[in-house]
Amino acid sequence: MDEESLLLSLELASGSGQGLSPDRRASLLTSLMLVKRDYRFDRVLFWGRILSLVADYYIAQGLSEDQLSPRKTLYSLNCMEWSLLPPATEEMEMQTSVVKGRFMGDPSHEYEHTELQKVQIKEETRLVSIIDQIDKAVAVIPRGALFKTPFGPIRVNRTFEGLSSSEAKKLSSYFHFREPVELKNKTLLEKADLDPSLDFMDSLEHDIPKGSWSIQMERGNTLVVLRSLLWPGLTFYHAPRTKNYGYIYVGTGEKNIDLPFML
């Protein structure tokens, strides 16, 4: 969620039951602004909070002008001091796929995994990889919030006035906030209906398994909330006909592998 509208966003996303305590909120407001200045980000998003056994990780992401360029991730244990995390690589992902269980809460903790040989994986690596996976899998943005210009960069659409109520209930009006992966696989007929300046990302409609998103109206129909069932804890909210939208992840950082059985 955008750091600029942090308070409102937290309030709207609170339907999932997890949020931030007032002291954390207050410290976030100040510290995120400083982060934005220090790292020269164009926009800072408060990504969420990963619950661990001892201390929670608070994660923020910074964006540059081009909205789809790789984001820089920072973490903090107390919402005041932020440390930059290294970008995620495939190797990291392979390593962390063997680690199971909750996060410990100490970034320097090392998990030991014995397969052919003993491998030690740092918690920081795991953190980076999990955040990256969550981003790639379930970061959501509504259709029309970003648009693509013929000159290249993806920009925030300042005239985005929100989805209409009927559009807001459909999964096809929401996109994955990442480089498109499945767009090229669409048939020509489908592509003809797309608007190239708005529909340049994958929509949530074709996510596998089907039904891995729960879409609900809350607050008496004035707020649409999407919750991911694959990564429980990710909440995306949007108030139709307004500019407010955002997503936040508050969870344990574990993928819900039992999803197909639970549906």
Site residues (vs another protein, CB under 8 A)? 11-12, 14-24, 49, 51-56, 102, 105, 147, 149, 151, 155, 157-161, 164-166, 197, 211, 214, 216, 218-222, 227, 229, 232-233, 252, 258, 261-263
User: Which residue, 24 or 126, is less far from another protein as judged by CB?
Assistant: 24
Q: Min. distance of Cβ 51 from another protein in angstroms?
A: 7
CA end-to-end span of the chain: 28
Is residue 216 a contact partner of residue 16, using CB atoms and an 8 Å limit? no
User: Which residue, 189 or 262, is less far from another protein as judged by CB?
Assistant: 262
Q: Min. distance of Cβ 221 from another protein in angstroms?
A: 4
Is residue 121 a contact partner of residue 130, using CB atoms and an 8 Å limit? no
Q: Min. distance of Cβ 21 from another protein in angstroms?
A: 4
Cis peptide before 209 (omega within 30 of 0): yes
Q: Is 141 left (phi over 0), alpha (psi -120 to 50) or beta?
A: beta
Q: Min. distance of Cβ 76 from another protein in angstroms?
A: 13
User: Which residue, 110 or 218, is less far from another protein as judged by CB?
Assistant: 218
Is residue 174 a contact partner of residue 152, using CB atoms and an 8 Å limit? no
User: Which residue, 49 or 176, is less far from another protein as judged by CB?
Assistant: 49
Is residue 249 a contact partner of residue 51, using CB atoms and an 8 Å limit? no
Token pair of 171 as six digits? 């999964």
3-state secondary structure of 172: helix
Q: Min. distance of Cβ 211 from another protein in angstroms?
A: 8
User: Which residue, 84 or 263, is less far from another protein as judged by CB?
Assistant: 263
CA nearest to 91, candidates 121, 70, 69, 112? 121
CA nearest to 142, candidates 199, 70, 69, 210? 199
User: Which residue, 36 or 169, is less far from another protein as judged by CB?
Assistant: 169
Token pair of 259 as six digits? 């999803």
User: Which residue, 62 or 144, is less far from another protein as judged by CB?
Assistant: 144
Q: Min. distance of Cβ 135 from another protein in angstroms?
A: 21
Q: Min. distance of Cβ 165 from another protein in angstroms?
A: 4
Q: In sequence order, what are the beta bridge partners of 113? A: 119
Q: In sequence order, what are the beta bridge partners of 59? A: 48, 75
